[in-house]
Amino acid sequence: MSAFVIRRLLQAFLVMALMSVIVFFGVNVIGDPVYMLVSPDADQAELEAAIARLGLDRPIWEQYLLFLQGALRGDLGNSFIFGEPALKLIFHHMPATLELAFSALFLSVVIGIPLGLYAGLYPDNPISKGIMAGSILGFSLPTFWVGLMLIMVFAVELGWLPSTGRGDTATFLGIESSLFTADGLSHLFLPALNLALLKISLAVRLTRAGVREAMGQDYVKFARAKGLSTRRIIFVHVLKNIMIPVVTVMGLEFGSLIGFSVVTETIFAWPGMGKLLIDAILQLDRPVVVAYLMIIVLFFVIINLIVDILYSILDPRVRLQDQGA
Amino acid sequence: MTAVLEVEGLKTHFFTRAGVVKAVDGVDFSVAKGEVMGLVGESGSGKSITGFSILGLIDPPGRIVEGAIRFNGEDIAGASEERLKTLRGNRIAMIFQDPMMTLNPVLRIDTQMIEAILAHEKVDKREAWERSRDALGLVGIPSPEERLQAYPHQLSGGMRQRVAIATAFLNRPDLIIADEPTTALDVTIQAQIIHEAQKLTRQTGTAMIWITHDLAVVAGLADRISVMYAGRIVEQGETDLVIDHPLHPYTVGLLGSVPSANKRGERLYQIEGMTPNMLDLPEGCAFAPRCRWATDACTPPPGVQTVDGRQIRCVHPRREGVTA
Ligand SMILES: Nc1ncnc2c1ncn2[C@@H]1O[C@H](COP(=O)(O)OP(=O)(O)OP(=O)(O)O)[C@@H](O)[C@H]1O
Ligand code: SF4
Ligand SMILES: [Mg+2]
């Protein structure tokens, strides 16, 4: 187990190093941030001073080595725009994004799994067919369009929920979140639902497919032949089996929830990392873009590790060993 | 002897898009207390569906369309799901063919055995655990306490089938339906399992229906044999009679294809022709297309007649000296 974790950490380190190269050089190809920072009527000397101040006068490989040097000390550079450390900016915006992503994950699990279970148990029922049709819509409608529609209907027409911002936050157990105030929750609901839509559909489909498959298995027939109650068969025998793929996939999807939150945050003006990223891209604030992407890579790596460990807990046939990948 | 189970005119059909599959189409038999009946036939002849019909485990598009299943005198063919649940695993238990698939891979053995007791009796967990342990001991599993904590994948196929058998015997049922329980196992394990099962039925007086496609397996185990073909029982009688003097041409063919029945060096006899298409059975005797002795007389479906102490469905029984 510990050998497995160490191995995975080494792999993770390698992935991070590789990504840093790709991200750093990639970002350096687009635009010239200096013109965003210096007034249009600045003279040559001012321009050169600005370039030197940002360190952009050095050769690109030297810039990268400097970045790497800083990165090893936990410093991913200062924002060109705000002059603050990029990491600090990201951490400042992270709670809002995490709160949104976790809420979306929560919604997809509590809505998606029961619906999928129902559709899997009664495949020919009209309600099940409705659920499946809905899940196709959830997959195919673009997130931004659904977001706008949610705002139109629930915020503009009905006026039930606010359309933008994070609302009031409160601190509980050292965590500051809008989950802890009624106003915060009302602000959170629409964006979380918008972000969750795709994952709800995914959870529905995964669960339904899993239930359909499990119901035809001999172990379910044997459980029935033992005279067990339907409840026990569904909630112990079937659900425990299908939780394995569902947890794996939903866990892995958490990274993409954070990624997709860029769209949702933009539409709902949610002050998270995604919005920070879009602003940084528009202003060619390279250090913030690089720092954001590195953090996202780190997220994916950590999520993968956690999912692997969870998987081994759920499925007794899998034991984490220092073999294979 | 009192009959534990009497099946009369049982018909279980599947209403598929392609047509009606008459998987079981007029089956009669009975099993007495402590008796072992072998139910033999080729793949697709309806053996498993017969077993599942008894337990009320036929799922749509299938359904029991006719017939009576009298269990200890009570007709359970149309019984409510609630009533059937109290019988399943309690008074009638079933064992399946593939031990790799019958145990739930993510639940421990103790969970899967204890739940079988708790579903039918209000006992405390400790007692259920002890009974599970003793049952594992009875089927020849060494150090049962440890095995109870194992997950199925940690046990061999033979061990898993023993667990399934032990589970079937947990509530001391009156009847066990064993659906090819040894087919997936190798020959030595097969012999051991048959031995254990036989011993247990003797000790407990449990009646058993042992389903197989291999006559050799039931020859030493069953008191009586029913041979099934295309949803019907074509020959039924005492094991020795059926094995030594088969009357129905299909039984003759089945016996010919058992290796031990062939003289050394002789070519293994195979029943000619294809297994029947259940969607498109011949009008008369279903075996006619493959039967060497078929005549025009076989076209109205042959009814059941008693010949030499057996019930057979054939107009030209293969009695010595009788040729058609
Ligand atoms: N769900 C179903 N839908 C349609 N036909 C079915 C269904 N289940 C079984 N059948 C048909 O019923 C017939 C009998 O099946 P059954 O499983 O009882 O055969 P079997 O004698 O047990 O064979 P095997 O030795 O292969 O287990 C087969 O022809 C099969 O195609
Ligand atoms: S009834 Fe005719 S066709 Fe059928 S088994 Fe007997 S002899 Fe053969
Ligand atoms: Mg079968």
The domain locations on chain A are: 91-276
Which chain B residue shows the shortest CA-CA distance from A222?
B102
Structure confidence at residue A67 (pLDDT): 85
Does B99 fall in a domain?
no
- What would the two tokens of residue B268 be? 């293994």
Structure confidence at residue A319 (pLDDT): 65
- E-state strands within chain B: 3-16, 19-32, 36-40, 62-71, 74-75, 92-95, 175-179, 207-212, 224-229, 232-238, 305-307, 310-312
Structure confidence at residue B103 (pLDDT): 94
CA A120 from chain centre, in angstroms, equals 27
Which residue CA neighbors atom 6 of ligand 2 most closely? B314
Sign of CA dihedral A31, A33, A37, A40: negative
Does B323 fall in a domain?
no
| A244 contacts B90? CB cut-off 8 A | no
Structure confidence at residue B270 (pLDDT): 64
| B94 contacts A222? CB cut-off 8 A | yes
Does B98 fall in a domain?
no
Find residue B232's DSSP bridge partners: B229
Domain boundary among B164, B180, B205: B164
Q: Which ligand is nearest to the CA of B313?
A: 2
Structure confidence at residue A325 (pLDDT): 38
Does B305 fall in a domain?
yes
- From the CA of B105, how many Å to the nearest CA of chain A? 8
Residues of chain B contacting residue A223, judged by C-beta atoms under 8 Å apart:
104
The domain of B77 spans: 3-91+171-312
Which of B93, B151, B153 lies at the smallest CB-CB distance from A225?
B93
Residues in B lying within 8 Å of A, measured between beta carbons: 55, 57, 85-90, 93-94, 96, 98, 101-108, 115-116, 119-120, 151, 153, 164, 167
Domain boundary among B164, B186, B204: B164
Q: Which residue pairs from A12-15 have beta carbons closer than 8 angstroms and sit at least 24 positions apart in sequence?
A: A12/A301, A12/A302, A12/A305, A15/A297, A15/A301
B67 and B194 together in one domain:
yes
Residues of chain A contacting residue B119, judged by C-beta atoms under 8 Å apart:
226-229, 232
Which residue CA neighbors atom 6 of ligand 1 most closely? B14
Collect the ranges in chain A with pLDDT lower than 50: 322-325
CATH topology of domain A91-276: MetI-like fold (1.10.3720)
Number of domains in chain B: 2
B27 and B119 together in one domain:
no
For ligand 2, mutation pick of B285, B292, B305, B313 (most atoms within 8 Å of CB):
B285
Find residue B7's DSSP bridge partners: B29, B69
Collect the ranges in chain B with pLDDT lower than 50: 262, 321-324
B146 and B53 together in one domain:
no
Residues of chain B contacting residue A315, judged by C-beta atoms under 8 Å apart:
105-106
What's the predicted TM-score (pTM) here? 0.81
Does B38 fall in a domain?
yes
B188 and B69 together in one domain:
yes
- From the CA of A243, how many Å to the nearest CA of chain B? 10
B62 and B83 together in one domain:
yes
Q: Which residue pairs from B266-275 have beta carbons closer than 8 angstroms and sit at least 24 positions apart in sequence?
A: B275/B42, B275/B43, B275/B44
